[in-house]
Amino acid sequence: MSVDEQPAANRSYKLNALFFRRLYTLSAPYWCRREAWKAWAIMAMLLSSAAAFSLVGGYISNLVADSTNALVAKQSIYWRIMIWMTFVGLMQTLALQVTSWFSAWLLLDWRKWMTNHLLNAYMHNRTYYEIEKDGFIDNPDQRLQEEVPSVCQTVIGVPQFILSSLMTIAVQASIIVQVSPGMFWAVVIYAGVNTLVSMWLYNPTIRQSWDLTVAQARMRTGLMHLRDNAETIAFYRGENSERKGLHQRLRDVAKVKMTMIFYGIRMSVVNQVMGLIFSLLPIFFVVPLYFSGKVAYGSIDQVGAAAAMVLSGLSVISNFIPTMTSTMPSVVRLSEIQEKFNQLNDTRGTQKAAHIRHREGETVVLEQVDVATPGGEQQLVRNLSLRVAEGQHTLIAGQTGVGKSSLLRAIAGLWRRGEGEIQLPPYQQLMFIPQKPYMILTDLRSQLLYPEPAESAEDARIQQAFVRLGRPDFLAKQGGLDCIKDWRKVLSLGEQQLVAFARILLRQPRYVFLDEATSAMDVETERQAYRALGEANITCISVGHRETLMQFHPQKLHLLAHGEWRLTQHRDEAAQSADADSFNLQARAV
């Protein structure tokens, strides 16, 4: 079962206190900042204009009644009323455009701020890595990109809609109550029934919206996987298997969509019936009053229009539930990631006693270190004590899957589960080269200086690095330092590893940890690469299987099954190596 297929067992699909608390937690950081006054000012302006529009609506309703009465009585004042009504309508449209602009600005500002805020938390203290490692949070990229606008839109829109609807209902209901108190009470009862029906109707849609969001995210992940592994899949001719997987994901999306369509039809029928009942109310309550001569003809139109506005106000209020329902998956998905950020921050603070501890020092020292996998499934290393003095190049070897890369992860502080203490020099004096070469989509200069910012003054040093690696023509062959390509695809695996070595030479750390960093290089290039590191006084701690690596590493840590280990010194063998004369590291070997 892939990460994005994990069951959502503990998720709440209810519109309950937890949901509103999460909505508040997501919104508060933006609205409670010191600079939030601008957002509050715009929000106040939007709310006041929503209230003003409702009052204008009541005024127009009175004008409609006056114009109808003037028309029935054939009075010339009718024309003046119509001109005035047109003018008021135009002003209202203009004001609406202005408020829409402010509303859009506020939405964009909040969205930008919230995305930045979450991104900072995501990048802080390598949280992105912890989240991938943990696997509970599916598609964090999609959560950060797509869920934020939905949450912001709801929080900005709902108060305006609610206020404007309540005002509209109050204004129009006061008109109705003057004409027919019976009609007024019928509207109140209708409102209650309508809200209950809405709650009953919309509860299942919460789960449906959630399922759709997850199914769409899975579809997207499947397509991304195909794109990222295009070459490997093409070599395997794995199209059929991939297509099968993607079709299944598409079927899942379609299934949820179909459920939603059928349910939507049911909801629409119920809503239409409710609307029909509402439209009959004026006929029952106002027309008899007109027949008995108690109200003017214009009142029928006025109360009809008022009832329609009350209905639309009520539908906004009762739509509060569906609006919240459709936002719920976004709120839950964003809250989950935010809660994960907080949880990771909290556990970092309390981890010290139960996890591998790190301290700063001159050299690399491991003291009685136990390493386990993050979930505690395997104990990979037990009670390891190791000292790597400067120049004491060390090779970590052992069977496939025994835990060599994991030991490097623990040293780098990526994995913390276990015991013991690790001393490391300051991180600026260290470099870790992972098993998979990392290439970014940029020019070759930035590639080589990653993660430092690129500066053109470095050009001569970069060329010098490749001379030391025995590849003086590398830069020219690749089109020069300014050339931009998809280096992951263009460079061979061995060349990508050469780039990693050039990065080391340019950064000049005191210690470098290499995880099978020469596995794709030929033996001669590997020899040159290690020689260059030795000449630069960089101490290597390498993981690898190749016999040839032995000659560069006088100290060998052999990881064995069940967390056992053996430390041996190979000074003599190294001295006998054919390359020994040319590899000056041996002079400093222990």
Ligand X SMILES: Nc1ncnc2c1ncn2[C@@H]1O[C@H](COP(=O)(O)OP(=O)(O)OP(=O)(O)O)[C@@H](O)[C@H]1O
Interface residues toward ligand X, by CB under 6 A: 133, 373-375, 377-378, 380, 398, 400-406
CA atoms within 13 A on the CB side of 354: 8
Quick check: 194 and 84 in contact, CB under 8 A? no
Rounded to whole angstroms, the Cα distance separating 552 from 537 reads 13
Whichever of 112 and 436 has its CB closer to ligand X, that residue is 436
Smallest separation (angstroms) from ligand X to the CB of 378: 6
First to last CA, the chain: 48
Q: Which two tokens stand for residue 239?
A: 């199209």
Closer to ligand X at the Cβ: 267 or 557? 557
In this structure, are residues 196 and 321 in contact, taking their beta carbons and an 8 Å threshold? Answer: no
- Quote the least distance from Cβ 384 to ligand X, whole Å: 13
Q: Is the previous residue joined to 451 through a cis bond, with omega within 30 degrees of 0?
A: yes
Q: How far is the CB of 5 from ligand X (least distance, A)?
A: 17
Nearest distance from residue 226's CB to ligand X, in Å?
A: 23
**Is the Cβ–Cβ distance between 217 and 4 less than 8 Å?**
yes
Shortest distance (Å) from residue 376 CB to ligand X = 9
Least distance CB 491 / ligand X (angstroms): 22
Token pair of 256 as six digits: 């949820």
Q: Smallest distance, Å, CB 513 to ligand X?
A: 12
| Closest to ligand X by CB, 179 or 402 | 402
In the bound state with ligand X, the residue whose beta carbon lies nearer, of 329 and 403, is: 403
Q: Closest CB to ligand X among 48 and 435?
A: 435
Least CB distance to ligand X at residue 135 (A): 8
* Length of the chain counted residue by residue: 590
Nearer to ligand X, 398 or 420 (CB): 398
Cβ-based burial of 510 (10 A; exposed 0-12, middle 13-18, buried ≥19) = middle
Residues in Cβ contact with 509 at an 8 Å cutoff, skipping those fewer than 6 apart = 428, 429, 430, 431, 538
Laid out side by side, the sheet with 555-559 consists of 430-433, 511-515, 539-543, 394-398, 555-559, 565-569
Alpha-helical runs (H) found in 536-581? 571-576
Eight-class DSSP state of 427: G
Task: Name residue 422's beta-bridge partners.
Answer: 358, 366
Six-digit token pair at 312? 């639309």
Q: 403 vs 509, which CB is nearer to ligand X?
A: 403
> Of 148 and 543, which CB lies nearer to ligand X in the complex structure?
543
